[in-house]
Structures are given as structure tokens and as C-alpha cells.
Amino acid sequence: MEREEGVMRVAVLDDYQEVADRYADWDAVAADVTFFSDHLADHRALIDRLSGFDVIVAMRERTPFQRPLLELLPALRLLVTTGMRNASIDVKAAIDLGITVSGTNSPGVATAELAFAMVLAMSRNLILEAGSVAKGGWQQRVGRELRGSTLGVIGLGRLGAEVARFGRAFGMDVLAWSQNLTSERAEEVGARLVTKGALLAESDFVSIHLRLSDRTRDLIGQAELEKMKATAYLVNTSRGEIVDTGALLAALDSGALAGAGIDVFDVEPLPPDDRRRTHPKILATPHIGYVTDATYRVFYTEVVEDIAAWQAGAPIRVLTA
């Protein structure tokens, strides 16, 4: 796009709900701000769209910024991401190219709430039963109570700890595992540290709360799913790549697993013909764990703060490689 001489240009990407302009005072930034609600996955199309912008605002990992793309955006000087971690941004490449990468705080509890909402929805077959009523039908299945059942939490950081507390509040026995978890940390939130194998074998519901890394990619595959009860449910609101999709679909198809609640996918937006959209044993949501009023207000308010501070030469929240 053509640049107006002397005016900084800001692109706000993947504003799916067309609400970004409402959550912050964009007038506090001396710039021409453009909001894009559609998602572009095509590399060439992204370059054509973004080539004239000095500042780009990325909403979480919706649009990846790897070296090949960054190298073809010569005007870009500031890349702001919501949150202080973004696995889809090559921060080292950005630094090499003279691009500052900054971030924002993230409230976090919203994703934990969605994870437990999925546990509740699957335990009482809410999607099936609500659909039956909408179509003129009535009761379809027998639900299960959470009290007395077992919740397994994989990853007991900020979000996992919240889910563990929710489970305890509902009278569930809570198990926890991660590679560096201690018994003391588990006990702080009312959970009991067990091995990964024991957690998978004993839990009625398993909820994943880990960061994506080389050691967590495909952490839950065929071998792990085979350890779970045929009556158990898996919830993933963390990162899609942590669960082997093929293995999960096979387990659901064969009846080796009762169901899954999924909010995160290896490709987003999820292709229209992806089986996970319509599988009868999958409760799929479009990565809305963090999509709440309170979270968006923090995200966009601090995005504007970062841009304004960067303009003024003041300190900002910088991501490092």
C-alpha cells in the first residue's frame, strides 16, 4: 500500500469479531490505524497487504511471522503481539532485521474456565441434548456426575492450577503431572502428583495445560490414548500440536475414548472439511479460550501503550529470543 509521507501506519490483524477499535483508545497513537477482520494464510497475499506498515499488531498465534515473511516487510519496525509469548513469531529473525517485538500481559483465567466448561458440557451431553430439544426431540443420553470422578491435569501452571481448583470445588479427585512438577506444588492446589501413565489410566477427564515445545509436541499420541479409559474424555485448550490428531480420531472412531473437547488446532482457522468440525464425539470450539471482554481489554489497551511508548522512545515490554 502507498505510504503517506510522515504518517506512521499500523495494521491490526485477525480482528475476527471486528471489535479491536472498541477496546482501546487508538487516538492515543499518532498513526493511521487499519483493522483487518479476515485471516490471510497465503504468504504472497500477506506481503501485499502488509508491505507498507511500520507497525503490525498480531493477535496471539493467528498469523505466524517467520523469517521468510519478515524479510519481505522492509517497512516493519515494531511487531506487537498480545501476550508475552508467541511461538509463531521468530523473535530472533525479527531482532536480526531490526524489528522490535513487544507484548502485553494476559489475564489467563478465561482459558481455564473454558476448559472446565468443556468438562461440564461433555459430562452432561449438553450439545446433544440441547440439539435434541431444538429439533423437537427430548432426552437422549444418561449423563454423569462430576462429584467423585477423577480429573487429570497435565501441566499445573497458572491455567492448570485454576482447572484443578475448579475440579476440587466440584468434588472431584484431582491428579496432576508434568515433567518438572513437585508434590508440594500439586498439594498447593489440592491435587496429587502421579506419573503420566497413572494420570491417563485413572482419570475420567484429562485436561491439558502445557506450552508447546519440542518435548510437548505430540505428547499425547496413540500409546498415551490407549492408556485412557474407554469412558474418559480429553480436553485440549492449550495447543493443537500437543495431541496427535490422527491418533485421537482413531481412538474416538474405535470407541477407545468417549469424547474430546478441543479449542486449539494445528491449522487455524480449521479447514471447512476437517473431520473435527463434525465428529459426533468432539466438542469443537474456534480457539475462544482467551476471547473474553476482560482479556481483550487488557490486550488492546496494552498494545496501544506499547505503540505509544515506542513512538516516544520510552521503555516497552520487549520479547527476547
What CA–CA distances, in Å, run from 63 to 236, 271, 277, 295?
21, 15, 21, 19
Q: pLDDT tens digits for the chain (321 residues)? A: 344 567 999 999 999 999 999 999 999 999 999 999 999 999 999 999 999 999 999 999 999 999 999 999 999 999 999 999 999 999 999 999 999 999 999 987 999 999 999 999 999 999 999 999 999 999 999 999 999 999 999 999 999 999 999 999 999 999 999 999 999 999 999 999 999 999 999 999 999 999 999 999 999 999 999 999 999 999 999 999 999 999 999 999 999 999 999 999 999 999 999 999 999 999 999 999 999 999 999 999 999 999 999 999 999 999 998
By DSSP bridging, strand 150-154 and strand 100-102 are unpaired
Q: For 190, which DSSP code?
A: T
Polymer length in residues for the chain:
321
Nearest to 53 by CA among 95, 106, 10, 91: 10
CATH 3.40.50.720, the chain: domain bounds: 8-107+293-312, 109-284
Q: How far apart are CA 319 and CA 82, in angstroms?
A: 11
Asked if 246 contacts 220 with a C-beta cutoff of 8 angstroms, the reply is no
Q: For 266, which DSSP code?
A: S
Record: fold of 109-284? Rossmann fold (3.40.50)
Nearest to 56 by CA among 36, 42, 40: 36
**Helix, strand, coil proportions of the chain in percent (round to 5)?**
35, 15, 50
Q: How far apart are CA 139 and CA 132, in angstroms?
A: 7
Q: Is 67 a catalytic residue?
A: no
61, 276, 287, 305: which one is catalytic?
Answer: 287
Burial 282-307 (b: 16+ CB within 10 A, else e): bbbbebebbbbeebbebbbbbbbbbb
Q: How many CA atoms lie within 13 A of 232 on its CB side?
A: 24
49, 62, 239, 276: which one is catalytic?
Answer: 239
Predicted pLDDT at 261:
98
Q: Which residues contact 96 (CB under 8 A, 6 or more apart)?
A: none
pTM, rounded to two decimals: 0.94
Predicted pLDDT at 4:
54
**In this structure, which amino acid lies at residue 120?**
L
Nearest to 310 by CA among 95, 103, 15: 103
Q: Is 287 a catalytic residue?
A: yes
268, 275, 279, 297: which one is catalytic?
Answer: 268
Nearest to 249 by CA among 239, 238, 240, 260: 260
CATH of domain 8-107+293-312: 3.40.50.720
Q: How far apart are CA 95 and CA 246, in angstroms?
A: 37
Q: Is 279 a catalytic residue?
A: no
Predicted pLDDT at 140:
97
Q: How far apart are CA 227 and CA 250, in angstroms?
A: 14
